[in-house]
């Protein structure tokens, strides 16, 4: 069957596209330029994956932006949403594209009766609240804090709170849309959301320069390149998960009947960046670090993990038979891919 993948050129979406193709789906990606579309076509073709096509959707906020893109598709994975902290206005920079992009794709989905399910990339950002560090978050939790922060502080809001608000309001808008379009207990399609914390792993999407690296991988790259103070590495950093796991769960969420109208937290573990740097303190990495990341310092190896909130990902593990990729492999693959990719910058 044919799956529409929005924001196909992103860090996560490039993996979703790859795995969809590997699992025998045909994929139509939306991208903002033909250059990005051609890059993906070439990338997948190298592995013999030829069932990828793309359409240009420049502005997800425009009414009817996806109307043409949905024609003939059987399912939708909606990943397109801004994830950055360059915020002058929380609404124009983050919230409007996130919310209108989400309601826009759902409106367009109404036009194609073949669409059975829409999987939306939400985030742990839609779940988290600033609780004491003993709390275990589950799918029942909703971020109440960040939207209030935006209301109260306007343009002065902390950019990370603005981002969290954008994801919260977008996911809420999706569930509300479904409710409003359910008539006599019958919905036009069903939903599932995937709610990951910080995503790491190998980068396969197009990256024109170090400064255009996606936000989560950029946070790690800053340590590799000595652009982040090493003492910060020991601080609590939230939780992480591998990009290949998150991609896989998107496809499982599309294909598994029990995923209907459910949220899924996908998380491996809470962490501090020091734990990622510790993986690289093993002697086997010294040559790679010297040649590719000469400014790498490595923080204070062995500093114990800080106490912080955790995420209960048991629902995704149980529903999809998922065993997360461990930290050592994530760091190994991410570091090696960055060493390779930075040669192009
Ligand atoms: P990227 O920035 O790499 O991907 C974002 C994608 O969305 C890109 O394809 C981008 O297009 C597209 N996009 C952003 N804004 C617009 C817009 N206004 N109009 C059209 N397209 C737009 O980030 P990620 O891959 O990390 O993020 C993918 C999804 O995962 C997002 O929904 C994000 O919120 C979510 N997420 C990410 C986490 C992470 O740690 N990385 C954690 C939790 C959730 P272009 O390439 O042209 O800029």
- Indicate whether residue 18 lines ligand 1 (CB < 6 A): no
Q: Is 243 exposed, middle or buried (0-12, 13-18, 19+ CB in 10 A)?
A: buried
Give the DSSP H/E element, type plus range, for residue 99: helix 96-109
Single pTM value for the model: 0.98
Q: What pLDDT shows up at residue 315?
A: 98
Which DSSP symbol is given to 309?
Answer: -
Pocket perturbation via mutation, ligand 1, pick of 11, 37, 239 by most ligand atoms within 8 A of CB? 11
Instruction: Tell me the CA–centroid distance for residue 228 and ligand 1, in Å.
Output: 23
Pocket perturbation via mutation, ligand 1, pick of 4, 6, 7 by most ligand atoms within 8 A of CB? 7
- Indicate whether residue 97 lines ligand 1 (CB < 6 A): yes
- Indicate whether residue 199 lines ligand 1 (CB < 6 A): yes
For 2-201+240-268+312-324, CATH number out of 3.40.640.10, 3.30.1330.10, 3.40.50.2300, 3.40.50.720 equals 3.40.50.720
- Indicate whether residue 7 lines ligand 1 (CB < 6 A): yes
- Indicate whether residue 198 lines ligand 1 (CB < 6 A): yes
Instruction: Tell me the CA–centroid distance for residue 50 and ligand 1, in Å.
Output: 24
- Indicate whether residue 196 lines ligand 1 (CB < 6 A): yes
Q: What pLDDT shows up at residue 163?
A: 98
Which DSSP symbol is given to 212?
Answer: G
Question: Interface pTM (ipTM) of the complex?
Answer: 0.99
**How far apart (Å, rounded) are the C-alpha atoms in residues 171 and 174?**
5
How many residues does the structure list for the chain? 345
**Are the beta carbons of 248 and 25 closer than 8 angstroms?**
no
Instruction: Tell me the CA–centroid distance for residue 13 and ligand 1, in Å.
Output: 8
Q: What are 192's strand-pairing partners?
A: 119, 262
Q: What pLDDT shows up at residue 139?
A: 98
- Beta-sheet strand order (sheet of 262-265): 52-56, 26-31, 2-6, 75-78, 117-121, 190-195, 262-265
Q: For the packed helices 159-180 and 145-153, what is the interaxial angle rounded to 10 degrees?
A: 120
Q: What pLDDT shows up at residue 305?
A: 86
Percent of the chain past pLDDT 90, that is, above it, reads: 97
- Indicate whether residue 201 lines ligand 1 (CB < 6 A): no
pLDDT-flagged residues of the chain (< 70) = none
**How far apart (Å, rounded) are the C-alpha atoms in residues 76 and 106?**
9
- Indicate whether residue 249 lines ligand 1 (CB < 6 A): no
Pocket perturbation via mutation, ligand 1, pick of 80, 93, 124 by most ligand atoms within 8 A of CB? 80
Residue 113's contacts (CB-CB under 8 Å, 6 or more residues apart) are 188
Q: What are 136's strand-pairing partners?
A: 310
Beta strands in 163-297 (DSSP E): 190-195, 198-200, 239-242, 262-265, 269-270
Residue 94's contacts (CB-CB under 8 Å, 6 or more residues apart) are 82, 87, 162, 163, 165, 166
Residue 38's contacts (CB-CB under 8 Å, 6 or more residues apart) are none
Instruction: Tell me the CA–centroid distance for residue 82 and ligand 1, in Å.
Output: 5
- Indicate whether residue 81 lines ligand 1 (CB < 6 A): yes
Candidates 131, 83, 165, 144; CA nearest to 238 is 131
Main-chain phi, psi angles of 44, to 5 degrees: -70, -35
């Amino acid at each position: 069957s044919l799956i529409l993948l929005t924001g196909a050129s992103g860090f996560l979406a490039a993996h979703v596209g790859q795995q969809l193709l590997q699992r025998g789906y045909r994929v139509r990606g939306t991208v903002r330029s033909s250059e990005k579309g051609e890059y993906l076509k070439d990338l997948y073709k190298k592995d013999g994956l030829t069932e990828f096509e793309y359409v240009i959707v420049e502005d997800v906020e425009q009414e009817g932006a996806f109307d043409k893109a949905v024609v003939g598709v059987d399912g939708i994975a909606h990943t397109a949403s801004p994830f950055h902290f360059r915020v002058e206005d929380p609404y124009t920079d983050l919230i409007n594209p996130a919310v209108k992009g989400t309601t826009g794709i759902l409106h367009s989905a109404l036009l194609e009766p073949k669409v059975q399910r829409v999987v939306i990339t939400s985030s742990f950002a839609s779940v988290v609240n600033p609780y004491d560090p003993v709390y275990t978050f589950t799918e029942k939790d909703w971020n109440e804090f960040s939207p209030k922060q935006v209301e109260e502080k306007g343009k002065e809001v902390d950019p990370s709170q603005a981002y969290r608000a954008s994801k919260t309001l977008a996911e809420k808008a999706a569930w509300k849309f479904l409710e409003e379009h359910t008539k006599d207990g019958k919905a036009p399609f069903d939903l599932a959301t995937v709610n990951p914390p910080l995503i790491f792993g190998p980068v396969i999407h197009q990256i024109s320069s170090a400064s255009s690296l996606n936000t989560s991988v950029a946070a790690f790259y800053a340590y590799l390149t000595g652009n982040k103070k090493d003492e910060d590495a020991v601080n609590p950093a939230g939780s992480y998960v591998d990009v290949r796991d998150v991609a896989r769960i998107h496809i499982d969420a599309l294909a598994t009947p029990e995923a209907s109208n459910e949220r899924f937290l996908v998380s491996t573990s809470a962490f501090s960046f020091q734990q990622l740097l510790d993986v690289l303190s093993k002697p086997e990495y010294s040559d790679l670090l010297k040649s590719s990341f000469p400014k790498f310092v490595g923080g204070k190896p062995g500093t114990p993990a800080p106490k912080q909130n955790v995420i209960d990902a048991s629902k995704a593990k149980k529903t999809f038979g998922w065993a997360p990729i461990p930290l050592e492999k994530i760091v190994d693959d991410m570091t090696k891919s960055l060493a390779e990719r930075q040669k192009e910058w």
